[in-house]
Structures are given as structure tokens and as C-alpha cells.
Structure 1
Amino acid sequence: MRSHLIACIALLSFGFSGQVLSAVSVAEAQRLKQDLTPVGAVRGANASGSIPEWTGGLSEAPANWREGQVEVNPFPNDEPLFVITADNMHLYKDKLSDGSRKMLSQYGPNFFMPVYQTRRTAAFPERVYGKSYENALSAEVLDNGNGVRNTITTSPFPIPKSGLEVIWNHILRYRGEEVSFRSGSATPQVDGSYNPVVTQYEYYFAYSKQGAELEEIDNKIFYLKTDTISPSSIAGTITLVHETLDQVRSPRLAWRYDSGSRRLRRSPNLAYETDLPNSSSLRSVDQKDMYNGAPNQYDWELKGKRELYVPYNAYMLHDQSVKPNDVIRAGHINQKLARYELHRVWVVEATRRTGIKHIYDRRVFYVDEDSWQILMSEEYDEAGNLWRVSEAHNISYYSVPAFWTTMEMTYDLKAKRYYIDGLDDNYPAYDFEPGYRGNEFSASSARRAARR
């Protein structure tokens, strides 16, 4: 009895009051083959039919797309059903997040939200669906909340009972086994002028590799290597990250090669509230991919589900003909290229734990039920004011298939500036089969690559 009481107190002190940290029953898991999709979304349509039934997603590429090409728009004839503006947003307030309403009011009339027909395109390989079912029966959050066990390949908790489980679903969602791509980022000035930074990304998702077992991947989720291509002043800068599953037991490992010093150094502070490199202090490291890293700085509360207008099927922004100058505008992106749809999202609120230092006191995340991708988030300062609003514009990548971001941005409402990543300047399509080996992501390998 005494040991049980101590365990309960420990959980409460970490903010897990009322949370269920264990796997679901066989009967409940069967819902993934009945009224829920294989990843845990509601399979059926909503009451009005404005959110349709999920019928498998975009599991096959459009007929006019070929392997190796940049993804084409599968819905080229779609037109907006209506456009939400600062003047009419009161008509849609129950379907708008606080962040969307703030963007409309602060930047209207130039910031508007074109709303299109809802297309439930998220799809994944059959083996991922099988692992999702197995994870539902076995996955557990570790007692300290900073990791999971008895899970592999994809999101651990397709039928979540807590905010922490939803965040782990995002962190561990399936994004393929490996991928190589080039992307541009920028931090436009108030007048819209900018200097892009071009980066080559190489990911190796150890957790999602076919045949992987949790005990064999050495507590690693993925390996990431980035190489700055331009501008010339920072070209050749290399960052290497080993993303760990339990980052308190075994913190994220990171190295950075500075072309000026020509040395590869450990970067122990590349986490949490640290400024994201090349973001002009407009985004923290843990905002990359909308949220990443150990969840131990916040208490996580699952607020339930909402139907919201969210960024979705962003094939116009992804189109190879769209250049950075077509996207970037003063204060925000060119909203004519954005696409919003009505989707069901999980709402998770993160409140900074007592005694923890972080620039964000409170954060709200809106997580897609069909993919576990965070679609939008709101970041609040210590005074309780909405400070930043983040959006992830996503597409289905046909060759995998996988649903993932093509462009992310964080809007700073105080500075009236933003950080954007995912700009395309005629770069090649994402390569989801580059043929990496795990040892290519060692520190010694990065050091050799930097010296070439």
C-alpha cells in the first residue's frame, strides 16, 4: 500500500493526474477495424456531411504523376467553397481556433482563409496499419512520461486517453523510413524583404524501419543530418542530430560543424527553448516539426476534439512552379496559395510546469485525427497573451505513402514577422529511398563529410 501511494504521488507531481498510461483492451482495439480508422480517427462522416467518411485516403497516386516527380495536385479543379475574412469571421467562430481569429483580425484584409471541400487524403502503408493495431494493445508511457515502451514503427496510442499520449503520437508518427530533400527557409522583415537559407536534409527513421524492434534501435527515433547550401556566409555548416526516445534518460545528441572554425562540436543546448538556428529568434528548437523533444517541461491536458478549419492538402504551395517570391508577403504568406479544410482535430493544452524555464508559458496544439500531424499551434507568453501562431501545411507524399508537412511557418504577432520553412526553388522531389545506412549518421562520418 505504501509503495502504491508513493507511485501515485510521483505521477501526480509530474502532472499525470487522471491520465491512463497503459495499453487498451482487445475489445477496444477492435474499434480500429470497425468505427475507427486504422490510426484511430473517426471513420464516419460528421452529422452535416461536411467532413466525409474516411475511405482509405489517397493511397494511390494520381494518374498524371510519375515516381521521382514532385507531387501534383490531385484536385486541380477544386475552388474555394467560401473565404473567411476579418469581416465575416464571426459567422464561423465556432470552427476557428484562437490563433486563426487573431491572424484574421491583426492582418486583415490581406490575411484570409480560403476554405475548400474536405478531402481526407491521409494514408499509410498496410504494415503501418498493422503496427498501429499492435501498438494499441501493448504501448505504454514510461513512468516519468519522457518515453514509451512496447511500441514500434508508428504512433503508439491510436486510441489516446491523455494529452501526453496524443503528443507522443505526433512525435512518433510514420513519415517513411528515410528521406532526402532540399528546402529553403526565411525570416522576412516587416516589409516582406528576405534572404533565404537553403538546407539539404537527410533523415533516417530508425524507429520506423521495416523489421525494427524497440530494443534494437538504441533508444533512437531518427537520425538527421543537415547541410547548409546557401548563403555563402554560412554554406557548409553541418548539423547532426540523434533523436532519442527517452530524452531525460539519454538526452538528444547533437553536433554542429561551423565552416568558419572547421570543427565539429557537440551542441548540448540544441533543445527546448533555444533559438532555432537561422530563425532570427522567431522560433524555438522544440517548434521544429511543430513540436519535438522531451515533453517533461509541460503538463499536458487533453481537451477533446473539435471541428476546425485547418491547413490541409497544400498542393498549391507544394507546386514546383511556385517560387519563394510567390509565397512570401509582408506579415504572412500569400494566402491565395493556402488551402483550409474542415477536419476533426485533437486539442491538447500544454502548461509550463512550476519551476521550469521556457519562453512559452502555455501552448495549444491542434492534432489531425487522420495522421497525428500537428496542424496548428498557439504559443502564449508569461502574461497570458497570445504571442505566436504556427501552421503546418501538409500533403500526401505518393511514393510512401505518408502525410507530412510541405511548409511550416511561425507568425510572431508582436514583431509582425514570421519564420517559414519549406520554400521550393525548383528543387528535386523528396527522395524516400536514398539508401542510407545508419553508420552514415555517426559523428565521425559527419566530420569526414565536412572536410571534403
Structure 2
Amino acid sequence: MVNTRLPKTRRWKLGAALALLFLGSAPAAAEHPVATPDDLGGPVFTPLGAERSGNATGSIPAWDGGIITPPDTYEPGRHETDPFPGDTVIYTVTADNLDQHSEHLSEGQKALLQAYPDSWRMNVYRTRRTASYPDWVYEAVRENARLAELSTEGKGGVRNARVSSPFPIPETGVEVIWNHNLRWRGIRVKRTNGKAAVTRKGRYSVVLAELDIGFPYGVREPTPFTRKYPNLMIGYRSRTIEPSFLAGDGGLIIEPIDQTESARKSWLYNRALKRVVRTPTFGYGMPGADTDGLRTVDEFELFNGSPYMYEWRLLGKRELLIPYNSYRIHSSDLKYDDVLHRDHVNPELVRFELHRVWVVEGRLKDGMRHVYSRRVFYVDEDSWQISVSDSYDLEGGLWRTAMAHGLNYYTVPVHLSTLEVFHDLEEQRYYVDGLDNRRAPYEFLEGADPREFSPNALPYYVR
């Protein structure tokens, strides 16, 4: 058999060249330096593959390692405090001046400004590249750069990768998607999570649940959990605590890495029936639970699950205004009414910064069924987290836009989203997921017993 696969060193350069050919009319897309595995963590590239230097104008600074220790204002056992309380707004983007800033806005962000010209605005602050991770995560990413490969062209997953993003030097769009899916989010996180679908009149009811999420893929060394589930990406279990008529219900999701080996499995515990029920296919374009139809299942974290329904293109990199260092909207001093306004979250609590992002476009494959025909993701170069997404309906019109409000949980450290906000531009409504104000802070743990993430254990967890 003739081997037609290019050596990796040549493919890195070819991948970058092909990406530039597909830039089309994408605003402000630009050439970017291409790394090799040995370059990661050096003077030109960060350990995760981002450009270490700032931009030409100085509006994006160089990455200096991010936040690696908590600020003096942080109290253990409390919410993360803002490391930059003295930062002030540099400028504000509104419907009146968006043309001056269009090169730094997604189409969805522009539409949002135009939809709510009298109330929505984007306050822009100094850019601070705070994302950081433990050194052993960086070491694993460097190893992934040498060894990781797509499994069945990314339909199922990846091979020879561990801990975090497998492709820090991406050649294709689907590799960037897997970088997001497999980015390091800790090993186990317990948190109280609020979500709300806000009506056109600004009314809402918060559904509050306790979440326990294990990331066995992210462990430093093999554990009983990873030995039992070698193909497991996430074990996710939830227990609803508010409102009262839903309290006592629960759920369990087992998410594999390679979905050609096994599919996502999910179970529900119904308090009234007092039994665990295996649910049918749960994913993709189905409406998410408790979202009032404003978000699909595969929009949790802006995207999750197998990418196989879409043809993905890597459109290069550009500079975009994205929510970042979102400590203000994360504050434990806030009430829900402080955060949730009628048409959008309180703009005074949102911090936008200019960052470099990878731009990935997904177009629905022929024969596949989904509510979105096209999706565009803007992926933060420093964390591999999707920060902004624009979604298009089956007629090709812009339908929804979403933003993830990220920050560095610096006691770990790890960059995660504290709040995800999804706007339906047609319904003129929005949905939020991640409200944790006036609740216990995230609890980051080092491991989990695999027996805890099983359908047999779900009733005991919920009770």
C-alpha cells in the first residue's frame, strides 16, 4: 500500500497555507506563524500553541504566563475576586458606532447591537491574557502535538492524546473543535448551577441544580476511574434543587471520546416514579432541558459532542472582542435581578477584551438533520474555549448568537466559562446557563470513584 499521508512537519505548513486560502471575506483574518512541537512553550508560542507576542498596535499584549496565584483580595472558600478592580472602560461599542469596530465583531454581535440599540452595549477593557494551566498540562499538550491523530477523520474522536487539547498546531477546522471538546477543565468539578429562559417582558424562573462533573480524560496519571472507562471524556450528574416541583429529579450523562466505539448514554431519575430511566438519543439539535427551546443540546459550552454532522473549515485567525476576565458578573454579591435584564444581561457587568481567536465554520452535511445549517465558532487562542458562536437557520439566515463569559479560576489554575448567554434573534429572547451568584463557589477535586457515575448510583446521589 502506498502511504499518501504527508509527514507531520510538512502537513503543519500545508495546513496553514490551506487555511489562508479559505479566508474569503472574513474580516481582519490574517496570516499567523506556524509552530512545530518543539516550539511550544518557547519564545514565539505559548505551551498551548497561541502566539506569545502581542499584536502590532499593542491592543493585545504578549502572554506572560497568565494568572498563576490568587490576588490578595481572594478568600479561600469564596468566589474568585477580580484581580483587576481598577481597570476602567477604554471605549464602548454601540449600535451607533459599530461600523467603526466591525472588524472586531462577529455577525451575531453586530445583530445584537442592532436588535437592542437603546440598551445593549459592549464595554471594552484593557486586554489581559490571564489563561493559565498547571505545568503538567502543558507537557501533555506538547506530547499531543507529536502523537495525536484524528480517528475516522474526527467523526469518532482522536487517538494517542491525553489530558488536554490534542492539536495545539491545528491544520483543520475539526481539529480546533476537538481542541475545544478536550481542553483541560480540571479533573472533577462540583458546582451549583442556575439557568433561566428570559421572556420578552423580562420575566424568568431560575432552575437550580447541583452538578458533579468528572473529566477522566484530564487526569495526570491513570486512576481506577480511567481504567474502568478508558474511552470516557465526561461523567456528568445533576440533582435539581429548585423550583420545588422539579426538586429531586436528576440526570446522568456518560460522554465518550470516540463515538465510533460507544455512543453518548444518558439516564434520568424521576422523583415521582422513583426510578432511573434510560433516555433515547440525547444530543445534537434537540432542545436542551429547561431551555424553553432557546438552546440545543450540543450548544452546552457553545459546542459539545461528536462533530461528524458538519463539514468543518478552518478560516484562520482574527482579532475579536470577546467576554473575558468576567469576574464582575461572577460576583457572589449579585442577585439574579442584577444580572438578568429584559433583553440581555446587564451590560455594566460584562467585560469585553480584544483577543486573537481561531475562526471555524461548520456546514451541515448532505443527509444530516439539524436545526442549524451553518455555525461559526470563535475560539480563544489562549484556552481553546469557544468564546462566541453564530448559528444560522436552514434558509441560511442568522438565527442565534451566544457568548461564553470566561475567567481564570486561579486556585487551580484553569480557564473556564462562568456564564453562557444564548440569544435567539428571531424570538427576541435569551437564555443563560451558569448562574452561580450567592451560591457556593466551584469545588475542584482530584478524582472520582467510577461507581459514583453509574445509573445504579444516581438515586442515591439525587436523594
The normalised TM-score by structure 1 is 0.93
Cα distance change, pair 268–77 in 1 and its aligned pair in 2 (3 A): same
Q: Residue by residue, what CA displacement relative to the aligned partner does 1:97-124 show, whole Å, maximum 9, x if unpaired?
A: 1111110011112010000000000000
Query: 1:392/1:370 Cα in 2 relative to 1: closer, same or farther (>3 Å)?
Result: same
Q: Which residues of structure 2 form unaligned runs of 5+?
A: 6-17, 20-33
Give the distance between the partners of 1:393 and 1:225, measured in 2 at CA.
23
Moved more, 406-415 or 137-146: 137-146
Q: How far apart, in 2, do the equivalents of 1:392 and 1:74 lie?
A: 19
2:185 is aligned with 1:175: yes
Query: In the alignment, which residue of structure 1 is the partner of 2:316?
Result: 304
| Matched ranges for 1:134-145 at <5 A | 134-145=143-154
Q: Cα–Cα, structure 1 residues 3 and 87, in superposed 2: closer, same or farther, change >3 Å?
A: same
- 2:10 maps to which residue? none
Q: 1:94 aligns with which of 90, 98, 103?
A: 103
- Within-5 A mapping of 1:358-373: 358-373=370-385
Give the secondary-structure state (helix, strand or coil) at the position aligned to 1:420: strand
Is contact 1:26–1:137 with CA below 8 Å preserved after alignment? Answer: no
| Selected match of 1:54 from 55, 63, 69 | 63
Q: 1:124 aligns with which of 133, 149, 152?
A: 133
Secondary structure of 1:39's partner? coil
1:22 matched residue in structure 2: none
Please list the CA deviations of residues 199-256 of structure 1 after superposition, one character each: whole Å capped at 9, or x if unmatched.
Answer: 1110111001120388774210121101111111111111101110012331011111
Q: How many residues in Structure 1 have an aligned counterpart in Structure 2?
A: 434
Per-residue CA deviation, residues 419-444 of structure 1 (Å, 9 max, x unaligned), is 10122341111000276322111111
Q: After superposition, what is the alpha-carbon deviation per residue over 1:346-396, rounded to whole angstroms, capped at 9, x for unaligned?
A: 000000000000000000000000000100000100111100000000110
**1:407-446 alignment to 2 at 5 Å?**
407-433=419-445, 436-446=448-458
Separation in 2, partners of 1:183, 1:244: 23
Contact 1:323-1:423 within 8 A present in 2 as well = no
- Partner amino acid for 2:391? E
Q: Is the 8 A contact 1:276 1:285 kept in 2?
A: yes
When residues 343 and 264 of structure 1 are mapped into structure 2, their CA distance, relative to the original with a 3 A threshold, is same
Quick check: 1:187 aligned with 2:197?
yes
Question: How is 1:378-389 mapped onto 2 (pairs within 5 angstroms)?
Answer: 378-389=390-401
Residues 72-111 of structure 1 mapped to structure 2, 5 A cutoff: 72-111=81-120
Counterpart in the other structure of 1:284: 296
Q: Does residue 234 in structure 1 map to residue 246 in structure 2?
A: yes
Q: Which residues in structure 2 correspond to 1:384-399 (within 5 Å)?
A: 384-399=396-411
State the SS of the aligned residue for 1:38.
coil
Show the counterpart of 1:41.
50
When residues 433 and 147 of structure 1 are mapped into structure 2, their CA distance, relative to the original with a 3 A threshold, is same
Task: Please give the secondary structure, in 2, of the residue aligned with 1:444.
Answer: coil
Q: Are the equivalent residues in 2 in contact too, given 1:282–1:410 (CA < 8 A)?
A: yes
What is the identity, as a one-letter code, of the residue corresponding to 1:182?
T
SS for the counterpart of 1:165 is: helix
**Paired residues of 2:331 and 2:437 also in contact (CA < 8 A):** no
> How far apart are residue 448 of structure 1 and its match?
3.2
The question of whether the paired residues in 2 share the 8 Å contact of 1:207 and 1:217 is answered with: no
SS in 1 for 2:178: helix
Q: Distance in 2 between matches of 1:199 and 1:27?
A: 43
Deviation at 1:140, TM superposition (A): 0.5
Matching residue's letter, 1:239: G
Ranges in structure 1 where 5+ consecutive residues have no aligned partner: 6-17, 20-24
How far apart in 1 are the matches of 2:340 and 2:213?
27
CA-to-partner distance for each residue in 1:178-205, whole Å, 9 max, x for gaps? 1100011100110101111001110111
Match of 2:72 among 57, 60, 63: 63
Mapped contact 1:244–1:251 kept (Cα < 8 A): yes
2:352 aligned partner? 340
Aligned with 1:148 (options 133, 158, 164)? 158
Please say if residues 204 and 438 of structure 1, whose CA atoms lie closer than 8 Å, have aligned partners that are also in contact: no
Normalization by structure 2: what TM-score? 0.90
Report the RMSD for the aligned CA atoms in angstroms: 1.9
Correspondence for 2:213 = 203
Post-superposition offset of 1:31: 4.1
1:270 is displaced (CA, Å) by 1.3
Match of 1:257 in 2: 269
CA distance in 2 between counterparts of 1:162 and 1:215 reads: 31
Equivalent position amino acid for 1:100 in 2: Q
Tell me the residue number matched to 2:29.
Answer: none
Contact 2:329 2:339 in 1 (8 A): yes
User: Residue 294 of structure 1 aligns with which residue?
Assistant: 306
- Amino-acid identity (%): 41
> Is residue 274 from structure 1 mapped to residue 283 from structure 2 by the alignment?
no
CA contact (8 A) 1:324 1:424 kept: no
